[in-house]
Structure 1
Amino acid sequence: MPTIQAITSHLESIAPLSYQESYDNAGLITGDVNTAATGAVLCLDATEAVIDEAIAKGCNLVVAHHPIVFRGLKKLNGKNYVERTLIKAIKNDVAIYAIHTNLDNVYYRGVNAKIAEMLGLKNTRILAPKKELKKLAVLVPEIEVAPLRAALFEAGAGRVKGGSDASFAALGAATSAEGLHALFKLEVLYSSGNEGAVWRVMDSFAPGAPFEVSALENHSLEIGSGFIGELPRALAEEAFLAQLKKTMKAGVVRHTKPLGKPVKTVALCGGAGSFLLPQAIAQKADVFISSDFKYHEFFDADGKIVIAGIGHYESEQFTIELLQDIIAEKFPTFALHLTKVNTNPVYYL
């Protein structure tokens, strides 16, 4: 039976907490990481009903996409749904873990990747990449290159778009008071979110080795906001919007006026992503899919793109299936339950 720590550590190997936005509160909200996990309920929102569901199923872990606590709490007396949920979870020893914008911001197996998969997009890439890349160059004897490189890859270094485990090594002559020494220069790229893991590897495999770290101006290909990709074949705007509504099980799709052009390039962002509209336009997307658009933001399409607004819940509802896949690959016999509770607070006539 894995501990809560083991499960959350695996999740963070995919979506490190350092990838979350500054306003976010991803991570363990309640609970003891050293407790053995009896099972987990996966959900978008940890509500009272979800905690009840976890208790009924004998699960002491709830993994939610949205953190139930965003801001500091000064009191915990049950006056609102947040406090009541926390009290119930604590009383019943149910840990609540949130994996939010850190999962939104990863290219591999993130929220937006799941949406793109549902829509059948190809040639996908991050819509607004972040400048998070660093390069490590370390000098080691030839015998140490392979184990060090393997450990760095395991720590998340060496990932490039379209694959992983990329590095560069070159033989050179290092000089010292003792003379010339044959050393290999091993170089790998890594994202800032993996920095802690990279330095743990260095401490274990290459303590005292000469090294250099460079912050790169390159945008990371695996960290950032939103996604953009292409449909296998172009669709008429009305046909694409109808397909979007069906695929995402949306009660309604709010959209700007069709432009009379085929849809081939699609930009998207799970959750509230209206801030990415300028990037979608700049990258010549035909449609931008997200949620929580305000009335005046629809004017910003300005005849350059079709905005397709679906519900916040609808845009992220398949995240729990993504979480199930991620956890099950590491812990195949661990009890995982997709919540049966519809936590969407929005209803449609």
Structure 2
Amino acid sequence: MLVNEVIDIIEEFAPPAYAEDFDNIGLLVGDRNSTVTGALITLDTLETVVDEAIEKKCNLIISFHPIIFSGLKKLTGKDYVEKTVIKAIKNDIAIYAIHTALDNQYKGVNDMICEKIGLKNRQILIPRKDSIKKLTTFVPNLQADSVRKALFAAGAGSIGNYDNCSFNLKGEGSFKPNSEANPVVGKLGEVHLEKETQIGLTYPSHLEKKVLQALFNSHPYEEVAYEVRPLENKNQHLGMGMVGELSDVEDEKSFLKRIKTIFKCGCIRHSEFRGKPIKKVAVLGGSGSFAIGNAKAAGADIYLTADLKYHDFYKANNNFVLADIGHYESEQYTKELLHSYLTKKISNFALILTETNTNPIKYI
């Protein structure tokens, strides 16, 4: 397989459109047209990870975090970023970063955290806005079913846990073909009335090109009448963080001790205990101070995240518990998630989980 073919599989799972605007995802180093000999899956790409890729004959590194985050003006090896990039280039190793495209995926980073903890009734903590569009089109009654099926196959018509969703109205369309037209029905220069079905359905905005192509390919008319408009609806299956419930309540201290074991935390910094049981849990892998208000609004008893600052802990305000379990610790199982997904899709070459611990934080 070519690097580009692997990228297509990755981006089917976590489309680039899911990534945050500030992020730097995608192919950061390497040639899209190179043949893949093996892929190393890692949370971070460092020099030691590149060394491991060389040793294991992997010329593709699939990384959660991007090694290049801000712009590089020079490549002189002055810091760990430049050294890593130079080593990858010298050894013809491509680097692909997925980061917030996977953070926002419903079955992504935060779902993996919930899975490890054992949370049920999971919901997105901060549902994504401006990610849903509505398509309305008008099709002759006889072809309405085939057009609907083509649109469903392209990814349109999914709402939460339901698919093949559409609304259909019977009516009558009119048109008059001019001398340049090549109508399927009707005659040139004459007004024609056709029994039609108005089909309305929604789709994720990143699938627009695919959905419209399916419409044009399946529609019988020479000129397809259709309307597209963005919706303000929040996407309940796309966004940052998650909130779920434990099967049974746990006391605060016992719960955090269990979290410490599951995520192999060197320590857990937390706000003051309230002396109340834990039932509803909010999570957000990586830096999550921006979502403290969302966790509170969701009615969480505790919010697990990372990179909280001193003053962030005051925001708990005895309403719930804030717990910093560590950045690496909260995201470490992302490697397993990627490996599990890719091994189901690819059998052409070795997919290897890195053995390199890239956590820069140590505990004494």
Q: Which amino acid aligns with 1:208?
A: E
Deviation of 1:347 (Å) = 0.5
Counterpart Cα distance in 2 of 1:89 and 1:204:
43
- Which residue does 1:213 correspond to in 2? 228
- Which residue does 1:235 correspond to in 2? 250
| Residue 265 of structure 2 corresponds to residue 253 of structure 1 | no
Counterpart Cα distance in 2 of 1:182 and 1:70:
55
Per the alignment, do residues 77 and 202 of structure 1 end up closer, same or farther by CA in structure 2, a change over 3 Å counting?
A: farther
Q: 1:125 aligns with which of 123, 136, 153?
A: 123
- Which residue does 2:18 correspond to in 1? 19
Contact 1:16/1:194 (<8 A) preserved: no
Equivalent pairs counted in the alignment come to 347
Counterpart Cα distance in 2 of 1:247 and 1:139:
54
Q: RMSD over aligned Cα, in angstroms?
A: 1.8
Deviation of 1:42 (Å) = 0.3
Deviation of 1:61 (Å) = 0.6
Counterpart Cα distance in 1 of 2:169 and 2:324:
51
- Which residue does 2:6 correspond to in 1? 7
Counterpart Cα distance in 1 of 2:345 and 2:127:
28
**Sequence identity (%):** 46
- Which residue does 1:181 correspond to in 2? 194
Per the alignment, do residues 118 and 85 of structure 1 end up closer, same or farther by CA in structure 2, a change over 3 Å counting?
A: same
Q: CA deviation digits over 1:37-69, x for unaligned, max 9?
A: 111100010111111111111111100000011
Q: CA deviation digits over 1:262-296, x for unaligned, max 9?
A: 11111110100110000111111101010000011
Contact 2:175/2:193 (<8 A) preserved: yes
Q: Which amino acid aligns with 2:302?
A: V
| Residue 215 of structure 2 corresponds to residue 202 of structure 1 | yes
Aligned pairs for 1:86-235 (under 5 A) are: 86-107=85-106, 109-131=107-129, 132-142=131-141, 144-177=143-176, 178-206=191-219, 208-235=223-250
TM-score (norm: length of structure 1): 0.94
Q: Which runs of 5+ in 1 are unaligned?
A: none
Per the alignment, do residues 331 and 142 of structure 1 end up closer, same or farther by CA in structure 2, a change over 3 Å counting?
A: farther
Deviation of 1:237 (Å) = 1.1
Q: Which amino acid aligns with 1:17?
A: P
Q: Which runs of 5+ in 2 are unaligned?
A: 177-190
Counterpart Cα distance in 2 of 1:32 and 1:155:
29
Contact 2:216/2:224 (<8 A) preserved: no
Deviation of 1:208 (Å) = 3.2
SS of the aligned residue for 1:342 comes to: coil
Q: Which amino acid aligns with 1:117?
A: E
Per the alignment, do residues 165 and 248 of structure 1 end up closer, same or farther by CA in structure 2, a change over 3 Å counting?
A: farther
